A = this chain, B = another copy of it.
Amino acid sequence: LILIKPTIEVCLSPALLHTYNLQNKIAVVIDVLRATSTICTALHNGASKIIPVASIDECMAYSIHSDYLLAAERDAKLPDGFVYGNSPKQYNTDKIKNKTIVLTTTNGTKMLHLCLGAEQIVIGSFGNMDALANYLLQQNKPVIMACSAWKDKVNMEDSIMAGGIVHRLKNNFTMACDSARMMEQQYAIAKNNIYEAHRIANHFGRLLDLGAADDLKFCLTENNTPVVPVLQGDSIVNVV
């Protein structure tokens, strides 16, 4: 009997996705600040599903459904005409219960659409770290952690969150690229205080300037939204 461990890889940016093969793999899309943290928060608070869309126009088109919440973010800000944006705070409430949310963001929904060649797409954030790791262990299939980055530029928060999953799975999976190996070590440095470790991150300063200090605290905390969001058809739903 030979046991072959499934592989785990970390792709640090959409611009590096061509160096990986998505076929027959589970792609975990990560956009810690803030799209995937927001998705986890909404599902944790009982939203029935999230429909991720690429453009503002596509999002607007869903206004024919008067009970849907339309949500958008561009360059970390709320575009004209929208009430719901990309702050998890807006979804951390009972008002979200049983709602369908249509969401478009600068980086996260882009990476999600680029990963459609994978066998399955799952959403990752610090908020669902342990729940996600347990789910991936049960699936026992090759995993690629897909960091959304910032307009293709590698960022700390997505990279380190990816490393946190590698850290949790490394005994049962084979680390199959150098980014996975480096980010596992990077997470090990950061894990005792995820929030403090990110003070030097580029996007930390950008969001602080935009008055999103609460969001930084929330998004850089582990396991506060223990859901497993999976793309099924055109919607993301919680499977645990």
Interface residues of A (CB under 8 A from B): 12-13, 15-16, 18-19, 151-156, 159-160, 175, 177-179, 181-182, 185-186, 189, 200-202
Compute how far the CA of A153 lies from the CA of B65 in the bound complex, rounded to whole angstroms. Answer: 43
Compute how far the CA of A78 lies from the CA of B207 in the bound complex, rounded to whole angstroms. Answer: 50
Nearest-Cβ distance from residue A94 to partner chain B, whole angstroms: 36
| Given A159-B178, A178-B159: A15 and B15 interface contact (C-beta under 8 Å) | yes
Number of copies: 2
Residues of chain B within 8 A (CB-CB) of A181 are 156, 200-201
Q: A178, B151: Cβ atoms under 8 Å?
A: no
- From B152, B154, B175, A178 is in contact (CB under 8 Å) with B154
Residues of chain B within 8 A (CB-CB) of A155 are 178
The 9 closest A-B pairs by CB, nearest first: A19-B153, A156-B178, A155-B178, A19-B152, A154-B179, A15-B15, A178-B202, A181-B200, A15-B16
- From B15, B19, B201, B202, A151 is in contact (CB under 8 Å) with B19
Compute how far the CA of A152 lies from the CA of B18 in the bound complex, rounded to whole angstroms. Answer: 9
Compute how far the CA of A186 lies from the CA of B189 in the bound complex, rounded to whole angstroms. Answer: 9
